Amino acid sequence: MKLNIVLAATLLAASSSVLADEKVTTITQLSSAAAFELANAAVGQCAKDGYNVSATVVDISGRVQAQLRYDNASPHTLESSRQKAFTAVSMKQPTANLMKLVAEKPLMDPLRDMDDNLLFLAGGLPVEYKGQVVAAIGVGGAPGGHLDVICAEAAIKSVMK
């Protein structure tokens, strides 16, 4: 009997420490400095290629950390780049993948209506650090989403090396 009480007390103490650890989580996210570097690198890459774009970097909650609109980029590119970044971080995958998924499987089309901030166009990429999504970048304004992707990929490669 005494052994059962000691065992029960030990199990209770162990489970309460496990529960205590589950009440708080630690997150890893991109620094503001790195977010500004990413936005600048993406816009710079597109500018070198002759495209006037906007780039937005969002944190893991989808909130804007950095946003840059290049000279002569259309006004709508700010919002489209933000939505692409939001979509990439929310779904933890490139927006081009989601665009393709919906095109190939019309049953998935309701995904578009889950949140007004989602935009299923190519140009949004998750940003990973040590295998964990820490942010996302969205680029909008190049003449084709595949070109937005190239600029975002170049930015991630140069900043997150």
The percent of residues in the chain predicted with pLDDT above 90, rounded, is 81
* Buried b / exposed e along 58-80 (16+ C-beta atoms within 10 A): bbbebebbbbbbbeebeeebbbb
pTM of the entire predicted model: 0.85
Least confident interval from 8-12, 22-26, 72-76, 109-113: 8-12
Residue 144 and residue 22: Cα distance in Å, rounded?
Answer: 44
Rounded CA separation 101/105 (Å): 6
Q: Where are the extended beta strands (E) located within the chain?
A: 54-58, 64-69, 124-129, 132-140
Q: Does pLDDT of 20 surpass 90?
A: no
N- to C-terminal Cα separation, the chain: 60
Domains of the chain (ranges, CATH numbers): 32-160 (3.30.450.150)
Q: Exposed/middle/buried for 101, CB within 10 Å: 0-12, 13-18, 19+?
A: middle
- pLDDT, tens only, 28-68: 999 999 999 999 999 999 999 999 999 999 999 999 999 99
153 pLDDT exceeds 70? yes
**Digit-coded pLDDT (tens) for 100-115:** 999 999 999 998 889 9
Computed over every residue of the chain, the mean pLDDT equals: 91
Q: Which band of pLDDT confidence, cut at 50, 70 and 90, is reported for residue 1? A: low
Taking the C-alpha atoms of residue 95 and residue 120, their distance in angstroms, rounded to an integer, is 6
Rounded Cα distance between 145 and 57, Å, is 17
Place of tokens 């774009």: 53
